[in-house]
Amino acid sequence: MSAPLPSANLLHKQLKEMQTDRDMASISVGLVNDNIYEWEVMLMISDDCEFYGGGFFRARLSFPRLYPHDPPTMKFETPLWHPNIYSDGRVCISILHAPGDDEYGYESASERWLPVRTPESILISVISLLSSPNDESPANLEAAKQWREDPTGFKKRTRKCVRDSLEV
């Protein structure tokens, strides 16, 4: 039997820390099929979040074997209408982009993935992104357009996402 990869040991430690941290009450994490590289996440969004407050959104964090050198990916399983979330649920946020310089010059290397980031810091950043979308670099062009041009319609659509998240 081979020894676990260093990434597996680190992820076990980070999972345990998140599961026992009382300050992380709005985030629940667990493993998918006992696979340390696949985490099921539940984000319980505070009522003070204008768009998604009160929602319970399921997502999955998928970690590469070379974690923390390479970033994980995050995908919402609960449908979300958001400028920075693709229609298939994939999250588009700078901190999950491959390390190094952005070939298009939009992001600095310090905004992209760094091995010091943790699952906790990723999830906190995603919660922040739900409150403050980045419409300059949208993954969902329709949502970004509505965010800019029809804030009332955008809020109505996000509130439907919240209602739908509570029915699952």
95-127 burial, b at 16+ Cβ within 10 Å, e below that, comes to: bbbeeeeeeeeebeeeebbeeebbbbebbebbb
Question: What is the predicted pLDDT for the residue at 25?
Answer: 79
How many domains, the chain? 1
Q: Which two tokens stand for residue 80?
A: 């979300």
What pTM did the predictor assign?
Answer: 0.91
Active site residues: 92
Q: Which two tokens stand for residue 1?
A: 């039997």
Place of tokens 């010059």: 105
CATH number at residue 99: 3.10.110.10
Cα–Cα distances in angstroms (integers) from residue 67 to residues 20, 61, 150, in the given order: 22, 12, 40
Provide the domain limits for residue 103: 6-167
Question: What is the predicted pLDDT for the residue at 3?
Answer: 59
| In a domain? residue 78 | yes
How far is it, in rounded angstroms, from Cα 127 to Cα 149? 23
168 residues of the chain, pLDDT tens digit each: 455 689 999 999 999 999 998 777 799 999 999 999 999 999 999 998 889 999 999 999 999 999 999 999 999 999 999 999 999 999 999 999 988 877 776 778 888 999 999 999 999 999 999 999 988 889 999 999 999 999 999 999 999 999 999 986
Question: What is the predicted pLDDT for the residue at 1?
Answer: 47
| In a domain? residue 77 | yes
